[in-house]
Copies of this chain bind each other. A is one copy, B any other.
Amino acid sequence: MNDIALQTRMANALRLLTVDAIERARSGHPGAPMGMADIAQALWTRHLKHDPGEPQWPDRDRFVLSNGHASMLLYALLHLSGYDLPISELMRFRQLHSKTPGHPEVGITPGVETTTGPLGQGLGNAVGMALAEKLLAAEFNRPGLAIVDHHTYVFVGDGCLMEGISHEACSLAGTLRLSKLIAVYDDNGISIDGEVDGWFNDDTQGRFEAYGWNVIADVDGHDPDAIDAALRQARSQAGDANGKPTLICCRTIIGRGSPNKAGTEAVHGAPLGADEIAQTRGQLRWPHAAFEIPDDLRRAWDARERGADARTQWQRLFARYEKSHPELAKDFMRRQRGELPEDFGHQVQALLDRQLAATTETATRKASQQALDALGPHLPELLGGSADLTGSNLTQFKGSRSLTRDHAGNYLHYGVREFGMAAAMNGIALHGGYIPYGGTFLTFSDYSRNAVRMAALMKLRVIHVFTHDSIGLGEDGPTHQSVEHAASLRLIPGLDVWRPADAVETAVAWRCAIEQRQAPSALLLSRQNTAVLEHAGDAADSIARGGYVLRELGTARVLLMATGSEVGIASAAQQLLFEQGVGSRLVSMPCTSRFDRQSADYRRRVLPPELPALAIEAGHPDFWRKYVGRCGAVMGVDRFGESAPAAELYRWFKLTAGDVATSAHELVLEHAKAHPRAPVEDFEIVLSCN
């Protein structure tokens, strides 16, 4: 048996594991794994630098399956290469709590670098990973000591390339000359609706050349040597300063090996069926039973020794690096572990002290920049950016440097590419070595929303800076005014949404976001100035709880709760109420998810249920029902905004201190009337106060 035959048999092992696992699960996508098996075999056995025994080794190549529905391909590769993914897990494909979920999920399966499935985003992640590699190399490598030197490979299908995010990500990758990014396009001409010609007939080569990529076109995706040659060619220029990312276009047949379904959409997303599987075994001359892999193929696939060698070689290199650059080596490893510098706490405290003493009104976006000015210079791992709104988001701090094609700097002008930015940030965080943050207007979180969700699902430390967070942005009008976005982001499980009220809360928000290693954060910041609030000495701790009593004025008969720019308004209303003889409690709720994680006792102390509650937020009111109940009241904005100066809009939407005081007063009276002794649900109030 010659080499080609062995390679084809190795690829067929991927095909059969795929169809058998999918058949057993009665669910899954055989088409892409069968079509890409030869490509995967060539890449994984002849090029990919990885160690199945140490999947987290820093200088490994990154492999991303952007067409995540091809998950069984990846599981078969990991299993056969020797990762800790036994055949029993492949037999539990798509079953509850198996290590082989329907789409690849980072953190569940060793060797899976990112969670994919939502098309195009894996490609965006890969761009982030390749960027992180370039930046880390520029920062840490020293002559003869290239401790950061790896490739990022990404498989993409037609779906990924139709998605808009592929444009954002690849245009950026071309501009930034990410030469160690190698994408392999599974050009099988089929998507779920059938032959793509009717809805997708781009000249993809021309398109990517227009982005400044190398394109290796017309590769036979079932010829292992042709694939190997293309990968060699792609890698050959990857080290050039003027190198380009590479797209390898492979012509493939979807479902290759299935005699009756290959080449059609029928093989995309459903099990082949017992009969067709039997015929597939015949066509591929595969005599083995389901989940049975012959020993010679197991040996040929086993990457553990080769992987351990590569890793050991790197460890020796790193040992030499450590000797000659001990401080750099220490910092490199610290950042790999995701730990913060030792003096981080001191820097935060100094910032807090300054902000606690500050007396001038400031926009929270400006306070955010002040936080960055204070913390950024001491956090070399911070990698900032904005989707072309730097001067509005105020995301660039003093002394931070815009990075360009030279890959030196810590601030990226992402261009007008919100979704691409968010997906790249996920890739940067997944790669390790950096804490990415990026800015846009809150309304345009809509554009990046699914990538924010993916960060939450993957538990990534990424920080979204969403400024211009309400009608307070004024004249730009309803297209730019967030109404539903704060509430809507709060629905994403695992995302901490901050809407700080002043410079002190903003500083704490930044601290918590940076310290939060296992979750993304979104900072919702005002365009307009916010009031200076009076804080207690232990304010930082209270704020970090996500909700706290900011001020008690008189004997509270009503509870006011607010976030962000409305806390100042509520505070002024509290003063008015006091002057009218009505005592109240003011609760600031900068981060409701953190508040929800506090003890029941703490929450009850902050929000005593016997007090009627009025929530004030310049956003959709429904969210606040959770805290005020049906018989409380909410002042918000349940319609789209308007184009006008901000102060006028606050009057138009009845969100001034006077309006709040009036509503609070009414609530007190209604409450007293309805509950002579104890609080009772009152349906009239329920239905009238929204």
Contact = CB atoms under 8 A, between A and B. Distances in A.
A95 to B, nearest CB: 6
A603 to B, nearest CB: 6
Interface in A358-392: 386, 388-392
Contacts of A672: none
A638 to B, nearest CB: 6
Interface string A480-506: 100110011011111000000000000
Contacts of A316: none
Interface string A644-680: 1100110010000000000000000000000000111
Interface string A197-236: 0111111111101111000000000000000000000000
Contact of A678 (B413, B604, B622, B680): B680
A331 to B, nearest CB: 28
Interface in A622-643: 622-623, 625-631, 638-640, 642-643
Contact of A168 (B94, B164, B679, B683): B164
Interface string A152-178: 000000111011111110011011000
B447 A450 contact: yes
A643 B103 contact: yes
Interface residues of A, number: 131
Contact of A118 (B163, B168, B443): B443
B478 A416 contact: no
B199 A175 contact: yes
Copies of this protein in the complex: 2
Nearest to A481: B102
Contacts of A166: 164, 167
B172 A686 contact: no
Contact of A192 (B118, B391, B604, B610): B391
B475 A102 contact: yes
A644 B95 contact: yes
Contacts of A652: 96
Nearest to A419: B164
Nearest to A199: B415
Contacts of A402: 198
Contact of A681 (B25, B444, B488, B681): B681
A121 to B, nearest CB: 9
A416 B476 contact: no
Interface string A382-406: 0000101111100000000010100
A518 to B, nearest CB: 14
Given A95-B644, A413-B199, A444-B118, A683 B390 contact: no
A18 to B, nearest CB: 15
A624 to B, nearest CB: 9
Most buried by B among A98, A167, A444: A167
A623 to B, nearest CB: 7
A168 B172 contact: no
A96 B493 contact: no
A5 interface: no
B449 A446 contact: yes
A199 B211 contact: no
A201 B159 CA distance: 24
A629 B634 CA distance: 13
Contacts of A105: 477-479, 643
A531 interface: no
A591 B532 CA distance: 42
Contacts of A192: 388-392
Contacts of A600: 684, 687-688
A628 to B, nearest CB: 8
A27 B474 contact: yes
Contacts of A416: 119, 158-160, 162-163, 191
A33 interface: no
Nearest to A412: B199
A598 to B, nearest CB: 10
A128 interface: no
Nearest to A205: B210
A483 B493 contact: yes
Given A199-B413, A600-B688, A96 B164 contact: no
A365 to B, nearest CB: 15
A564 interface: no
Interface string A104-137: 0100000000011111000000000000000000
Given A192-B389, A475-B25, A163 B162 contact: no
Interface string A578-609: 00000000000000000010001001100111
17 contacts: A27-B474, A102-B477, A163-B164, A163-B168, A164-B167, A164-B168, A174-B202, A191-B388, A202-B211, A207-B207, A483-B493, A484-B493, A491-B622, A600-B688, A604-B683, A622-B626, A679-B681
9 A-B pairs with least C-beta separation:
A164-B164, A167-B167, A117-B479, A206-B210, A101-B643, A609-B683, A96-B644, A629-B630, A484-B491
Given A103-B477, A626-B690, 19 more contacts: A94-B644, A118-B444, A162-B415, A162-B416, A171-B202, A175-B202, A193-B415, A196-B415, A200-B415, A202-B212, A203-B212, A457-B479, A487-B491, A493-B639, A493-B640, A600-B688, A625-B626, A629-B686, A681-B681
